[in-house]
Amino acid sequence: MISEFDAFVTAAAFDRAQRACFALGDGTVRFEGGESVQAHDGAILSACLHPSGDGMLTGGDDGRVVWSRSSGAEQVAEVKGRWIDAIAASPQSGLVAFAAGRDLHMRDVADAGFTRLFPHERSIADVAFDPKGRRVAAATYNGLRLWYARIAEQKPAVLNWAGSHIGAAWSPDGKFLISSMQENQLHGWRVSDEKNMRMGGYPAKVRSLAFCSKGQLMVTSGANGLVIWPFGGSTGPMGKEAAEIGFDESALVTRAAATPGATWAAAGLDDGRVWVCDLTGRRIDTVKAEKGAAISALAITADHRRLAWGDEAGGAGVVEVPEA
């Protein structure tokens, strides 16, 4: 499948049936079967899979959070006059978190009456649930704020580090929190004792990261190849060096994707190419060799057999990954 959507591809994902879906800058969600749903009156700014695994949740510049399936769209929440800059969902708890300006909002897909509001001093750039869906991290200026997702009145745990934090991700075992920064670096914390670590050396901003190999490895964008950090043991990447594969001085990796339970990873480049690799053998297979607009969205199925990509000019595709 190769498509030309004529709108920036904000996100790509595979649903529980391993069908690809794409969130676009024109406010639509497109499905691999050809269905198109007009989810927003304006651009989609953020997207993730619905907790059920059926369809996508999207946040738009129209202040709405929408659940889109191939059969149509359903509004989940609205914050008038605000942009929904970040969204995350937990299949384990059924909770949805989204950021609107300085406020973190919570919803429960099984309880339409459940709402929580957690205010922050500065704008929130990203949100991420822990593996159990009980706590949520918000990336903001000077660090991360950690909240218990269902508790109404509380003070957040604060993980401080000077600078603007634009992304957040938990390790699959919940032991570490990683943030990407406006500077060309990552920062990390061990949650149990808040011990922090710098993870630098990048030539560009890290806008995409993913864990694989059952949480033993983390791959990221932001360099001329795919950067690999080791997360084994109680100290994770503390005091360890990152590796890099697929180095190409003519291009930068803009998006990274990986199989959570296996050792496959994928990279999308700023010249439009896409490749996949089994990290155990490190053989790189190019699945999109044609150059073009920078890759802005990337997803791979858990069995690594299918990969979806989208680019800044509206090109998108679903490809079969070659046998190893």
Q: Give the three-class secondary structure for 214.
A: helix
Looking at residue 281, its pLDDT comes to 86
Domain segments of the chain as ranges: 206-324
Sign of CA dihedral 234, 136, 146, 44: positive
Looking at residue 232, its pLDDT comes to 86
Mean per-residue pLDDT for 220-237?
93
| Residue closest to 308 by CA, chosen among 10, 99, 7 | 10
What are the pLDDT digits (tens) for 31-40?
999 999 999 9
Share of the chain above pLDDT 70, in %: 99
Tell me the CATH number for domain 206-324: 2.130.10.10
Q: State pTM to two decimals.
A: 0.96
Band of residue 255 on the pLDDT scale cut at 50, 70, 90: very high
What are the pLDDT digits (tens) for 27-62?
999 999 999 999 999 999 999 999 999 999 999 999
Sign of CA dihedral 110, 174, 207, 261: negative
Q: Give the three-class secondary structure for 215.
A: helix
Looking at residue 324, its pLDDT comes to 60
More confident residue, 198 or 1: 198
Q: Which two tokens stand for residue 168?
A: 């957040």
Band of residue 235 on the pLDDT scale cut at 50, 70, 90: confident
What are the pLDDT digits (tens) for 205-228?
999 999 999 999 999 999 999 999
The answer for residues whose C-beta is within 8 angstroms of residue 34's C-beta and 6 or more apart is none
